[in-house]
Amino acid sequence: MKIFHRIDDIREYNEELVEEIVFFENNTKEFIVAIIPNGFSEKYTSLFRKCRNCAIYQHGYDHYNRVQKGWYDEFPDTMNKDEKRSLILKGKLRLENILNIDIRGYVPPWNNTSLDTVNVLKELGFSIYSAQDNNTIKYFKNKDICIDIVNVYSPKILYKNLDIIYNNILTLSKYRIEIGIMYHFKNTTDEERKYIHNFVRKVENLNL
């Protein structure tokens, strides 16, 4: 059994987020960052160029919801395919230019997208797809997320009881080959961050 971590929604420059990325770089064997291209701060460049453990995936283009009813999606069926292609490509090129790497991994905002978008991703050369378990797309190498440490997203992020999450991971580890854990940091307090760090260290001890 292997464990990886995924930090979502990286866009505006934020010191706390920089510290988190450094923490994950130093304390985990594998983590993914999901970057929103539109508005992504170039101030992150030197940090990501130094990271060795970190895989950089594209996270939509603008993280803008276009679904009125139902599960949120930036690129739903109702949107024109050419329009999707041009926005996703624009995002891909922006990240590639800023970070000087090839972007091959994609994380759909809200872990959800349409079949049409999956075809666009194929056409644009993406080969890794990271969403929720039940959204596995056969064509890609999948980096499925099965654990979310957040309990409530709005108006403020509230975290789950991470002792319970840790026990869930112990159970899952009996029959899963890989466990993906999703993280969001926004106005996270120092105390919450310490709590999360302890959890990450404990989980990493399982990840041998």
Distance of closest approach, residue 127 Cβ to Zn ion, in angstroms: 21
Total number of residues that touch Zn ion (CB under 5 A): 3
Alpha-carbon distance of 180 to 122, in angstroms, equals 23
Of 8 and 144, nearer to Zn ion (C-beta) is 8
Distance of closest approach, residue 71 Cβ to Zn ion, in angstroms: 13
Does the protein bind Zn ion through residue 144 (CB under 5 A)? no
Distance of closest approach, residue 25 Cβ to Zn ion, in angstroms: 21
Single residue of 3, 6, 7, 9 touching Zn ion by CB under 5 A = 9
Give me 35's structure tokens.
């970057």
CA distances from 189 to 157, 176, 184, 192, 194 (A): 10, 32, 12, 5, 9
- Give the length of the chain: 208
Does the protein bind Zn ion through residue 20 (CB under 5 A)? no
Is the separation of the CB atoms in 10 and 36 below 8 Å?
yes
Stretch that binds Zn ion, among 7-15, 88-96, 132-140, 169-177 (CB under 5 A): 7-15
Interacting positions 92-131 with Zn ion (CB under 5 A): 109
CA atoms within 13 A on the CB side of 90: 11
Does the protein bind Zn ion through residue 73 (CB under 5 A)? no
What region, left, alpha or beta, does residue 146 occupy, with left being phi > 0 and alpha being psi -120 to 50 degrees?
alpha
Residues that bind Zn ion (CB under 5 A): 8-9, 109
